[in-house]
């Protein structure tokens, strides 16, 4: 080979190498941006604008306006602001509402980049009127709670355990307890089902929960953003997750937890969900080893099932409460599933009351909802 050809080959290889390096650098930068958007505390400035833009149709604008009005009303009601210190020292804030003649207590977890009063703005009055004290949690890395990152359930499951410990440590807590969550909050309570929950937890309400951080990131990246989430990008995402959360994105899932779940679960999902696909709830339902129920709402988008079929949703929840309130827990399995490497050895119970707005919570004015207990 003469020198001219050799130089041409070297130049071509160098050019290709530069192009590959450039593409790799771009892919790495894009993945870092996606993961920062997913788990970093700071809300991108365009996020709220994008949320408002989602209300395109007149019907959606009406629903979102009602949700905003109800959220403001819920936040203004008298409650007890409480806080705990979670297993890793993170300060977590909650808002505790107590009603007259309470029959049970609901521990509620909101979703990703959302707020307790927003996600439960439409359903809180139904809970209050049907004998539920409710502790609304502010998830780590969001709003009033501390923490630099959101853990997509990997860390929040231990926060959930800490809140349960806090409630059972109070003299005035009304049992049984129910864990409730929407979206990432649903993943939180479903992952917590794999922990050693006390017998006073009688059920879980999980609305549109995903299966794992990796699965939902892959789905959103490929289906919504049209970016492949395999190979290099997937490895970079997993590495970033491991460094920031001390947890691999694929290390633990709701399916893993549900294989050793001991309490009944009511799974809810909108069939038209474009953010968390309904097949993830089907996967969770199939993985669940405990007693389970499934409510799929046709035409409902993400987190909209209660709004689309409110009466059916209410009947299902009331029937679930009626069945589970006096239910004895299943015995612990003979062989529990192995815990992930990152599982903390112990969840701290340190807690304190930060501020009381008033001694009593919202009143249960009006008649209790009359409904039959049939399963759809």
Helix (H, G, I), strand (E, B) or coil at 193: coil
How is 285-350 classified by DSSP, letter by letter?
HHH--S-EEEEEETT--TT-HHHHSHHHHHHHHHHHHHHHTTPPPPPPPSSPPPPPTT--S-----
* CA of residue 203 relative to chain centroid, distance: 16
In terms of residue numbers, what domain contains 142?
A: 77-212+252-356
> What confidence tens digit (pLDDT) does each residue in 165-184 have?
999 999 999 999 999 999 99
Per-residue pLDDT at 62: 79
Helix (H, G, I), strand (E, B) or coil at 79: coil
Per-residue pLDDT at 115: 94
Residue 232 contacts residue 204 (beta carbons within 8 Å)? no
| Residue 365 included in any domain | no
| Residue 15 included in any domain | no
d(CA 356, CA 359): 7
| Residue 72 included in any domain | no
Average pLDDT, the chain: 80
pTM (2 decimals)?
0.79
| Residue 173 included in any domain | yes
> What confidence tens digit (pLDDT) does each residue in 219-264 have?
887 887 777 766 666 777 777 777 777 765 556 899 999 999 999 9
| Residue 106 included in any domain | yes
d(CA 171, CA 175): 11
Neighbours of 52 (CB within 10 A): 10
| Residue 167 included in any domain | yes
Per-residue pLDDT at 157: 95
d(CA 37, CA 40): 6
How confident is residue 312, by pLDDT bands cut at 50, 70 and 90? very high
Q: Which of 17-31, 43-57, 309-323 has the lowest mean pLDDT?
A: 17-31
| Residue 333 included in any domain | yes
Residue tagged 């806090």 (tokens): 166
State both tokens at 99.
């009603």
User: In the predicted model, what is the mean pLDDT of residues 287-296?
Assistant: 97
**In the Cβ-directed half-sphere of 220, how many Cα atoms lie within 13 Å?**
14
CATH number at residue 86: 3.40.50.1820
Report CA Rg, the chain: 23
> What confidence tens digit (pLDDT) does each residue in 64-114 have?
888 999 999 999 999 999 999 999 999 999 999 999 999 999 999 999 999
| Residue 321 included in any domain | yes
Report how many domains make up the chain. Answer: 1
């Amino acid at each position: 080979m003469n020198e001219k050809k050799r130089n041409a080959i070297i130049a071509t290889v160098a050019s290709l190498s530069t192009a590959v390096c450039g593409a790799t650098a771009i892919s790495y930068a894009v993945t870092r941006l996606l993961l920062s958007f997913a788990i970093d505390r700071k809300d991108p400035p365009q996020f709220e604008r994008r949320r408002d833009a989602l209300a395109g149709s007149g019907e959606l604008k009406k629903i979102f306006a009602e949700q905003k009005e109800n959220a403001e009303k819920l936040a203004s009601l008298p409650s007890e602001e409480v806080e705990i210190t979670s297993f890793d020292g993170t300060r977590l804030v909650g808002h505790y509402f107590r009603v007259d003649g309470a029959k049970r207590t609901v521990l509620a977890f909101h979703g990703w980049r959302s707020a307790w009063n927003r996600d439960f703005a439409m359903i809180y009055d139904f809970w209050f009127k049907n004998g539920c004290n409710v502790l609304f949690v502010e998830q780590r890395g969001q709003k009033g709670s501390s923490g630099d990152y959101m853990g997509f359930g990997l860390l929040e499951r231990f926060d959930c355990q800490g809140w349960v410990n806090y409630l059972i440590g109070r003299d005035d807590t009304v049992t049984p307890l129910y864990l409730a969550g929407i979206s990432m909050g649903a993943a939180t309570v479903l992952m917590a089902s794999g922990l050693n929950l006390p017998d006073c937890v009688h059920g879980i309400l999980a609305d549109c929960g995903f299966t794992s951080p990796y699965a939902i990131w892959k789905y959103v990246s490929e289906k919504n953003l049209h970016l492949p989430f395999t190979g290099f990008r997937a490895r970079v995402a997993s590495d970033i997750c491991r460094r920031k959360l001390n947890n691999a994105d694929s290390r633990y899932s709701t399916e893993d937890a549900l294989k050793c779940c001991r309490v009944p679960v009511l799974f809810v999902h909108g069939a038209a969900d474009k953010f968390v696909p309904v097949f993830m709830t089907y996967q969770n339902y199939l993985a669940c080893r405990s007693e389970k129920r499934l409510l799929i709402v046709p035409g409902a988008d993400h987190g909209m099932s209660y709004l689309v079929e409110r009466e059916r949703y209410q009947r299902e929840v009331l029937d679930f409460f009626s069945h589970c309130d006096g239910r004895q827990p299943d015995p612990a399995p003979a062989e529990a599933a192995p815990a992930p490497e990152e599982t903390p050895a112990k969840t701290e119970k340190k807690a304190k009351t930060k501020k009381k707005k008033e001694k009593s919570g919202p009143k249960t004015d009006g008649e209790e909802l009359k409904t039959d207990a049939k399963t759809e």
